[in-house]
Amino acid sequence: MNPVAILLYRNLVASIDKVFLVWQVIFPVVYIFIAGYSYSALIGGGGVPVGDKSIPYPAYLAAGMIGFNVMNSSTIAGSIIWNDRRNGMFQQILVMPFARMEYIIGSIMTIMLMGLVSAGLILVAGTPTMVGIAEPTFFGSLYVLYALITGAIFFGSITIIISTRLKSSEGFNVIVNSVFLFFSFVSTAFYPTQGVPGALSAAFYINPLTYIVDITRAGIFNEITPFVHLEAAIIAAVTTGAFFLATFSMMRMKV
């Protein structure tokens, strides 16, 4: 059996907290229907601009939560590595016929699978907010899939890098939560850049989550513009760099 497939199965069965999986779906769904409709009263009936369209805020938020959830799922990669190091499992895995690169790919694939499944569930749950607004097409679906896969690889790589540098679970949780807090709220996941002060608006576009949720929305609402193509190219380059840094960190990590 393929070593990566074995590690993927092991991660899914033995290393993932089932309560965390449930929370990964319940929190975004609750947020969409409570915050989405509550904040709509503040935004008004004009909606939120996405390309040439004006989207009701609940639909805007539902699409953003798909990318947001992929980011949250990525914490599992760092947790798996940190727990394996603490419990001596990492050493045991390397003694067996597994290479470090296979271990990394297994962790990234775990995030990709979890991200795609949770994103699919959120998309289904958020469908009532997007009925009559979303314009699904085959080409648009490819963009959504691209955003989810690159998001999983990027954020998974970030948590791998952090986990290889820290020796305590407290430090890992503090750093990851702090970094992801910035990613979450200095992005277009919850609100658009229109009307945001200039410096903060510029900060949105040094945040990879912005590109991921923008591409996801463009695919869902069929608003794929040249700027979205540029965002897709930028996130591809950033993700490639993050993956190579994660690989380098894992290769240098002492057993």
pLDDT at 3 over 80: yes
Q: What pLDDT is stored for residue 231 in this prediction?
A: 93
pLDDT at 86 over 80: no
Q: Give the closest residue to 202 by CA, choosing from 193, 211, 213, 215.
A: 193
Quote the tokens at residue 151. Answer: 């998001």
> ∠ at Cα 26 (20, 31), nearest 5°?
125
pLDDT at 232 over 90: yes
Q: What is the pTM of this model?
A: 0.87
Q: How many CB atoms lie within 10 A of CB 171?
A: 13
Mean pLDDT on 178-187: 85
- Residues 156-175: tens digit of each pLDDT: 888 888 888 777 777 777 88
Q: What pLDDT is stored for residue 128 in this prediction?
A: 84
Q: What is the residue-averaged pLDDT of the chain? A: 83
Q: Give the closest residue to 118 by CA, choosing from 184, 189, 21.
A: 21
How far is it, in rounded angstroms, from Cα 95 to Cα 234? 38
DSSP 183: H
Q: Where are the domains of the chain?
A: 3-252
* Out of 84-98, 124-138, 240-254, least confident range: 84-98
How far is it, in rounded angstroms, from Cα 215 to Cα 144? 7
Percent of the chain past pLDDT 70, that is, above it, reads 94
How far is it, in rounded angstroms, from Cα 56 to Cα 42? 12
pLDDT at 184 over 70: yes
Q: What pLDDT is stored for residue 1 in this prediction?
A: 61
* Out of 33-42, 151-160, 178-187, least confident range: 33-42
Cβ atoms of residues 249 and 164 within 8 Å: yes
- Residues 5-26: tens digit of each pLDDT: 888 888 877 666 667 677 777 8
How far is it, in rounded angstroms, from Cα 24 to Cα 120? 12
pLDDT at 42 over 80: no
- Residues 49-79: tens digit of each pLDDT: 887 888 888 888 888 888 888 888 777 777 7
Cβ atoms of residues 61 and 73 within 8 Å: no
What long-range pairs does 22-31 form, CB within 8 A, spacing at least 24?
24/69, 24/72, 24/73, 24/114, 24/118, 25/118, 25/121, 25/122, 25/125, 28/65, 28/68, 28/69, 28/122, 28/125, 29/122, 29/125, 29/126, 31/61, 31/65
Q: What pLDDT is stored for residue 44 in this prediction?
A: 67
